[in-house]
Amino acid sequence: MLIELGVVEQRHKAVLEVLAGSSVVEVAERYGVSRQTLHRWLRRYARSGIGGLADASPRPARCPHRTPPAVEARIVSLRLAHPRWGPRTIAHYLAKEELEHYPSRSSIYRCLVRHHLIDPQKRRRRREDYRRWERSKAMELWQMDVMGGVKLEGGRELKLVSGIDDHSRFCVSAMLVEHATTRPVCEALVAAMRRHGIPEQILTDNGKVFTGRFGAHKREVLFDRLCRKYGVRHLLTAPYSPTTTGKVERFHKTLRAELLAGRVFASIEQAQAELDAWVAFYNTERPHQGIGMVAPIKRFELAARAQQPVMQQPDADAVDAETESEYVPGEGEVVTRRVREGGRISLDGFDYYVGAYLDGESVEVLTRSSGLVDVRHRGEFLACHARRRPASSPIKRLQRSPGEAHRVAGRFVLRTVDAKGAISFAAGTYAVAKRLSGEQVEVRIGRGKVRISKNGELLCTHAIHHDRSKELGAFAIPKGRPRQRTKTESSDEITVAEELKPMRSTGTET
């Protein structure tokens, strides 16, 4: 009959055989263990009896590197008070406290796992496996976006126009608006540039408030014109690629978790006030893990402000491509021009070739006293041309104060605005404004566009889509009747006059 003996019973039997006089070598060979193991059993039996032959815990009797209980309790309390803090953030705040022992990030992680305050995670990729994309200094690139989900009492919802400096993660714009249309978004951009200066580039997605590239008419929107006016290169993400603007998206995630989660505000003023306070904390006090656990202001304030272009009260009203081309710069003055299709720019009413490969880019034009015009792009010399109109030209320089409408001159014809807010010219129809129905406006052709004004003040401009062969006849009939528009013709175009209304004061700086 076979009897199964336990481990302790077999060890006890081997010990008794040795104590009865058997050789240690023979007993060890018979039980399949080494002599050292059998001697260890003998010592443990002599010290603790048969109970000493049971398997003991491999845990050492003492561990000098173990996290002290007081520090472990402090780690747990910080995690309970701030459930979103991870090991890195907890280690950052523990380093500011007077402790005898400062645990490492891995020690804090094991402590949180031991107390079931964090779920064990699988091994992630090594840090060196990540490919980091970041600009080398502040004010090189801003990422801008629009976020929803800011709730008000009564079920209303606000939109946030936000902007982040790519290098420092400094929040340059955080403006709440009721509707994220063209005007409020451009107001937020202007307010940010007034406070922080002009960045070299701005990165946005392909929303209609940022670009007209994917619109039906593919026209230049006000946001693009502001960027071109102040020499900012506007970059767009690839379609359906939100990770390209990942920094501002991550800012939205932090904002939702730390300020907006479960919050309903009484008014837009209250929401903006609390948002401003949180942004100030985010910029100046809150440590950011992406930049070495320092506040974004530490990186942002290192920007060479003296090297940034000075911006005197930017305003969307100062943007109009056609008026720019008519402006006569003085000697030594630098102006910005946008390169048109074919690689040409306009200055003093004349075209200058700079390169077809620069189509859509902005260049700086310097007029010298020697009658030369220098063209540069991002500080690099492109071309030099003889100025085709001398500085003594009888054309008056365009003088316009902020908020004043553009004044235009030149050959024109009068047209009456119909009930739909449109006028007819050379077998073509152009939208003006319904509020001017029944009134007469002036129609001019200048620099490849139709310019509509009233009493010499520019109302709007349109790309030419009439029959060019009928222009002479149109000017020969200065008071021709407006053609009635068909139902299929669109009348919802946004006029430049509407776009260029004076901006309301934001009253909020973020």
- Domain end, chosen from 273, 305, 337, is at 305
Residues 49 and 74 occupy one common structural domain: no
Least Cα distance to 224 among 361, 368, 426, 112 occurs for 361
Residues composing the chain: 510
> Can you give the CATH number for the domain in which 29 is found?
1.10.10
Residue 157, pLDDT score: 93
Residues 155 and 89 occupy one common structural domain: no
User: How far is residue 170's CA from residue 192's CA, in Å, rounded to a whole number?
Assistant: 12
Residue 87 has pLDDT above 70, yes or no: yes
Structural domain contains residue 403: no
DSSP 175-233: EEESS--HHHHHHHHHHHHHHH---SEEEE-S-TTT--TTSSS-PPPHHHHHHHHTTPE
Residues 301 and 336 occupy one common structural domain: no
Higher pLDDT: 349 or 320? It is 349
Structural domain contains residue 95: yes
Structural domain contains residue 189: yes
Query: Which neighbouring-strand residues pair with 100?
Result: none
Residues 212 and 249 occupy one common structural domain: yes
Provide the domain count of the chain: 5
Structural domain contains residue 340: yes
Residues 102 and 169 occupy one common structural domain: no
Residue 260 domain boundaries? 141-305
Residues 105 and 149 occupy one common structural domain: no
pTM over 0.75: no
Confidence of residue 243 (pLDDT cuts 50, 70, 90): confident
Structural domain contains residue 310: no
Residues 181 and 86 occupy one common structural domain: no
Confidence of residue 210 (pLDDT cuts 50, 70, 90): very high
Structural domain contains residue 319: no
Structural domain contains residue 287: yes
Higher pLDDT: 2 or 145? It is 145
Residue 121 has pLDDT above 60, yes or no: yes
Structural domain contains residue 342: yes
Contact by Cβ (8 Å): 137, 163 = no
Residue 129, pLDDT score: 60
Residues 47 and 98 occupy one common structural domain: no
Burial class (CB in 10 A: 0-12, 13-18, 19+), 488: exposed
Least Cα distance to 147 among 173, 108, 113 occurs for 173
Residue 407, pLDDT score: 57
Mean pLDDT across the stretch 373-388?
83
- φ and ψ at 368, to 5 degrees? -100, 160
The token pair at 338 is: 């946008």
User: How far is residue 255's CA from residue 248's CA, in Å, rounded to a whole number?
Assistant: 10
Residue 181 has pLDDT above 80, yes or no: yes
Residues 242 and 356 occupy one common structural domain: no
Least Cα distance to 134 among 102, 169, 89, 163 occurs for 169
Residues 210 and 253 occupy one common structural domain: yes
Residues 285 and 223 occupy one common structural domain: yes
User: How far is residue 453's CA from residue 460's CA, in Å, rounded to a whole number?
Assistant: 7
Burial class (CB in 10 A: 0-12, 13-18, 19+), 313: exposed
Residues 289 and 192 occupy one common structural domain: yes
Residue 197 has pLDDT above 80, yes or no: yes
